[in-house]
Chains A and B, each alone.
Chain A
Amino acid sequence: MTSTHVRARPARRTVSPLPAARRAHRTRPVPPRGPNLTLGPGRLSRTLALAALAVMALIWLLPMAWAVLTAFKSDQDASDPVHWILPRGGFTLDAFRTVIERGDLPLWMLNSFVIAAAVTVITVAVSALAGYAFSRTLFRGRRWLFTVVVASILVPPQMLIVPWFQQMLTLDLVDTYAAVILPQTVAPVMVFILKKHFDTIPRELEEAARIDGAGHARVFWSVMLPLSRPMLAAVSIFVFIGAWNNFLWPFVSTSDPALMTLPVGITAVKDAYGVNYAQTMASSVLAALPLVLVFVLFQRHIVKSVATTGLGGQ
């Protein structure tokens, strides 16, 4: 225990200039921008821009407002063609109660969470290791392998559902978590993004650790990873959202309702129970809630994640 601690110290020393730099970055005031830069100083242009924004935001918020409104109605009021805005029988929590008591929604949320978390952890871990290998090490066939990995970014996962399914039959994994998780963990684009990110870290930062005899494992763990925390967070958020919302493969690989993820399960319910608009909207609102709440809480991180990862590191 103590010996690893002592040995880790030299590496940590090389990191010390950075937290300060990061802190400086964080506290640096947001550069003044806005009206005085892109918009004229005039009152009219400001008002017009604000009006345009308000109209668009209204159009974009309306569907969600309609879903929430419906969810708080009774089934009868939800399908009342005349009084379509305010319910005659008043607002009620009945739809939510029914949906929650049915019990499958929390289960699917849990499944989605477990699967998305597993996909995220595995994808980010193996992609970071591979990104480091392609950025910092030499071995025979490295360039050639990297070319293959980058080329495979083009392969649409949709074209692999048939062979994946055959594979899961062969491996006897149909209707298991493993079947849903494993194919989603291969993300060549994440390897590419992380490789490019590691390329930007100055080699001088590893030098001290190397002189003290640190190998690749130590350099990766105590120099590269600490310096990459914001990037790893961005990539993780991105992978998590993708896995949480993924539909086609979880839909193909699971038929057992106990293993379904949220996007697959709530669709199956509609087909099984027929149409009850108040209840479908109640389950939609509940299904939408986790990620929207997370977004409200961590808006800046998610915005940054999309901005850094969304273009595939371009």
Chain B
Amino acid sequence: MTTPLATRGRPPAGPAATGRGAALRRAVPPGLLFALPFLVLFALFMLWPLAQGVWMSLTDTSLSAHDPSFIGLDNYTEALGDAEMWRTIWHTVWFTVVSTVPLVAVALVMALLVYTGLPGQWVWRLAFFAPYLLPVGVIGLLWLWLYQPDLGLYNHLLQAAGLDGYAWLSDESIALYAIVIATLWWTVGFNFLLFLAALQAVPDHLYEAAALDGAGAWRRLWHVTLPQLRRVTGVITVLQVLASLKVFDQVYLLTKGGPNGSTRPVVEYLYDMGFTGYRLGYASAISYVFFALVVLASAVQFVALRRREK
């Protein structure tokens, strides 16, 4: 019982512990020294910016040169009454809903199919996961070309099938869904691998027992596999929601938020306000509204996960 305590205590000073090093070690607990490099970076590039963001959101800081002055909560009052901000928040939330469902469901189907152990494992993994490795700049260029109305692959295929093509990215009613499709293609492989790992962790004896009881493939799927995946499905969904709420890159590259701002997510709005509109103070206030949205979504999901586990 004494050994764990001994290991947790201070290390005995070695023969080399003399001079300034020893003095420093006595003054600062060794644990803190280990954590220090991270804590310095953490303070500089997480805590300070968070605090500075709060301060800036209370001022009219601008990229054009004039001294910022304190304006209290004006930025927040303006944001809450800003119809365009609410519209971008709605786009973000809707994108999250519409993208999370297939990003979880399709990934699950892919993993279940690959896990059957059919030949060609290597090919399936490559096909489903490789897009995740493409830099988002490539995603932008590639899908602009695939969606090109006159020359793009998808309209060629539709026309070959005797159907009409779409103005994928310039039609307000479908642009967001076109972005969802591109996102699904790009990132589903990540969730696919998570599901695949979870499937590999399902103990074989459950299947063997089910097979002995005469359960067929479908009943094994419903009564063994899916129940075993419940927890991991919940976690993947939570992570996917949080990832989708942060959407910016592919929207910015495919439509720049258009047509007519119909796909602009809130992260792009804060980027536009800050770096095109030069209103850094207002952009900071929107950053915090965005943060509130993320925290709210996390809290709701956390409660839901907890309740399901009980």
Residue positions of A touching B, CB distance < 8 A? 31-40, 45-46, 49-50, 52-53, 56-57, 60-64, 66-67, 70, 78-79, 81, 84, 112, 122, 125-127, 129-130, 132-134, 136-140, 142, 145, 149, 152, 154-156, 158-167, 182-183, 185-186, 188, 191, 203, 206-207, 210, 213-217, 219-220, 241, 244-245, 247-248, 252, 262-267, 270, 277, 280-281, 283-284, 287-288, 291-292, 294-296, 299, 302-303, 306-308, 310-312, 314
Contact = CB atoms under 8 A, between A and B. Distances in A.
A17 B143 CA distance: 52
Given A33-B200, A63-B185, A156-B242, 10 more contacts: A37-B208, A126-B41, A129-B37, A137-B34, A138-B29, A156-B246, A166-B52, A215-B13, A219-B11, A312-B239
A216 B14 CA distance: 11
A81 B37 contact: no
Given A167-B48, A215-B14, A288-B133, A81 B294 contact: no
12 contacts: A57-B127, A63-B143, A137-B8, A137-B29, A156-B291, A163-B48, A214-B11, A284-B141, A303-B125, A307-B196, A310-B193, A310-B194
B138 A288 contact: yes
Interface string B222-266: 000100000010011001001001101100010000000000000
Contacts of B126: 295-296, 299
Interface in B55-85: 56, 61
Nearest to A277: B145
Contact of B275 (A40, A46, A50, A252): A252
A137 B135 contact: no
B86 interface: no
B31 A163 contact: no
A158 B34 contact: no
Contacts of B280: 162, 165-166
A185 B30 CA distance: 23
B139 to A, nearest CB: 9
Given A40-B216, A133-B32, A162 B274 contact: yes
Contact of B235 (A31, A155, A252, A311): A311
B138 A284 contact: yes
Contact of A139 (B32, B117, B145, B151): B32
Contacts of A66: 145-146, 153
Contacts of B177: none
A249 to B, nearest CB: 11
A267 B137 contact: yes
Q: Give the residue among B31, B114, B284 with the most A Cβ atoms within 10 A.
A: B31
A129 B35 CA distance: 6
Contacts, number: 327
A159 B270 contact: yes
B101 interface: no
Contact of B136 (A112, A247, A283, A307): A247
Contacts of A166: 52, 56, 61, 280
B290 A215 contact: no
A80 B216 CA distance: 52
Interface in B113-149: 113-118, 120, 122-131, 133-138, 140-143, 145-146, 148
